[in-house]
Amino acid sequence: METTIAQPQLDQSRNAWDHFDLDTVRSVSWLSIESVGKQTHSFPPTGSIVSYIDQLLVEAFPSRKEMVGAAVVCGDMEAERGIFEQTPSVRFTDVAGFDLSETSLRRARPSTFKFHPFLGDCNSLVLGPHQFDLIVGAHGIHHIFNIGGLFFQINKALRPGGILFIHEWVGPEKLQIPRANALVARLLLCTLFTRKERTNHEGRVKGKFLQYSPGFFDPSEACNSLEIPAQLTRYFEVKSELAYGSLCYPMFEGLGRNFHPNRRLDQVRIKFVLAVERFLTRMRVIKPLFLIAIAKKRAVWQ
């Protein structure tokens, strides 16, 4: 693979991720709540993200069944590897992973493909042309300052007809919650849920508190997140997308252990929040904070 990647320059970010307790974060994540996480899999035309990506790859490369992929800002690959492992009609034989945390790359445990880890700062990533059929960015691209440069490199590295899948924070920098989102989230939290249900894994009660201040985060956290949608459409043709999370993220992040799929009251209240989120987002009263997109490479790189 023709690739160069600068050695990590953001030492604070690298050290933070080297010692990050990913298992705890995932266990309390808002997306670990079944009703909330389920919505992220039902929006493409086929009803499944993986099956739709598979369909687009078959259409783009009808004579090939073996594919090569990559994941950018990939960490331990837990958020990305299912995309490469579960496609029904094509098989990924090799996948490259790019990240600035050596510890996270060592944690990667793919089961169906050969994994090629590359250590370095994706702000300075340089990829060779036409190397990959699919590139995935899941919950990592919002840590990149040079968003335009990264999307340019992804576009260049994809073969003609290649696919990009992203699942990213596209809200304000430093994970801050827009005022209207926060007002509605506080109202629903304090009306529908008990103090115990609103207490996160650190013992903090959500209500007035929804998110940490900007100074709490490392310098790369959502450092240029508002630029992601514009750069995505500059370099790619979006085939299917879901903009969501405007209420569920501020309300339920950190509370994932507090709700259970077999408790009817939990599910009724959460589904009500989801319905309110969809309605107010559609009416543009509140702003979506996350974007899931499946996109095809545009012919912009020569």
The Cα 250–Cα 140 span in angstroms is: 19
pLDDT in tens, 153-186: 999 999 999 999 999 999 999 999 999 999 999 9
Task: Answer whether CATH 3.40.50.150 is correct for domain 3-297.
Answer: yes
The Cα 27–Cα 256 span in angstroms is: 6
Pairing of strands 91-99, 114-119: parallel
The Cβ of residue 215 has, within 10 Å, a number of other Cβ atoms equal to 6
Question: Of all residues in the chain, what percent carry a pLDDT higher than 70?
Answer: 92
pTM for the structure as a whole: 0.92
Question: Of all residues in the chain, what percent carry a pLDDT higher than 90?
Answer: 83
The Cα 84–Cα 115 span in angstroms is: 11
Q: Where are the domains of the chain?
A: 3-297
**Residue 135 scores a pLDDT above 70:** yes
pLDDT at 2: 61
Which residues, 6+ apart, have CB-to-CB distance to 200 below 8 Å? 28, 206, 254, 255
Whether 45 and 294 have beta carbons less than 8 Å apart is answered as no
pLDDT in tens, 20-64: 566 778 889 999 999 898 887 777 888 899 999 999 999 999 999
Tokens of 63: 């004579």
The Cα 254–Cα 120 span in angstroms is: 29
Tokens of 27: 């266990």
CA atoms within 13 A on the CB side of 174: 10
